[in-house]
Amino acid sequence: MTGKEKCEFLKGIRKRMAEANGIPYETRECTYEGDCLGTCPICEQEARELLAQIRLKEANGAPIQVDEDAIAMLEYFQKYGLLTPAAIERMKLEKRRILEPLMGDICLHPDEDMKRKWKQREDDEKEAGMKRLKNRVNLAEKELDESTKDDDLPFTINPFKS
């Protein structure tokens, strides 16, 4: 993930937060061509100003609105990186599926059915883990038995054996 990609992502977050809270907002065009950390003075100032306006609205009784899309954007940003037009289209498509699973569609969201499947898979894995653990214990016991056979020892340690 480059700084430029991060910058684009953060710009998208600012835009959505402004829209969600009814604040007119226009991002200033960045003319810097090199890479950055997403913390240039222009971006910092935009974020500061926007937060100040949101806080002002909050002080006047309007609770802060969070656009759920921002969180969806975060997930897709992590998945696809730069929000190119194609990535945005893909995001919209998947978001549609997330919010409105269609009949017969493959649901990407952890709906109840998916949750059940995941739970089942987790349970299966745990059961398999338990089996592996038991096998290890059995194997270790077997090895121990083998190594302590009377025949292998130079003298007997069994007090009941004459």
Distance between CA 74 and CA 81 in Å, rounded?
A: 10
- What is the smallest separation between the CB atom of 77 and another protein, expressed in angstroms? 7
Q: Taking CB under 8 A as the criterion, which residues in 38-67 touch another protein?
A: 38-39, 44, 47-48, 50-51, 54, 64, 66-67
Taking alpha carbons only, the member of 8, 10, 7, 17 closest to residue 50 is: 17
Taking alpha carbons only, the member of 9, 10, 15 closest to residue 83 is: 9
Residue given tokens 């007119």 in the structure block: 24
**Chosen residue from 42, 70, 98, 114 binding another protein by CB under 8 A:** 70
95 interacts with another protein by CB under 8 A: no
Spacing of C-alpha 28 from chain mean position: 30
Contact indicator for 64, 16 with CB cutoff of 8 Å: no
**Chosen residue from 77, 83, 91, 95 binding another protein by CB under 8 A:** 77
Q: Which is nearer to another protein, 141 or 150 (CB)?
A: 141
11 interacts with another protein by CB under 8 A: no
| 104 burial via Cβ count (<10 Å: 0-12, 13-18, 19+) | exposed
| 129 burial via Cβ count (<10 Å: 0-12, 13-18, 19+) | exposed
132 interacts with another protein by CB under 8 A: yes
How many residues sit close enough to another protein to count as binding (CB under 8 A)?
A: 32
Q: Taking CB under 8 A as the criterion, which residues in 20-39 touch another protein?
A: 37-39
* Binding region for another protein (CB under 8 A): 1, 6, 9-10, 13-14, 16-17, 37-39, 44, 47-48, 50-51, 54, 64, 66-67, 70-71, 74, 77-78, 122, 126, 129-130, 132-133, 136
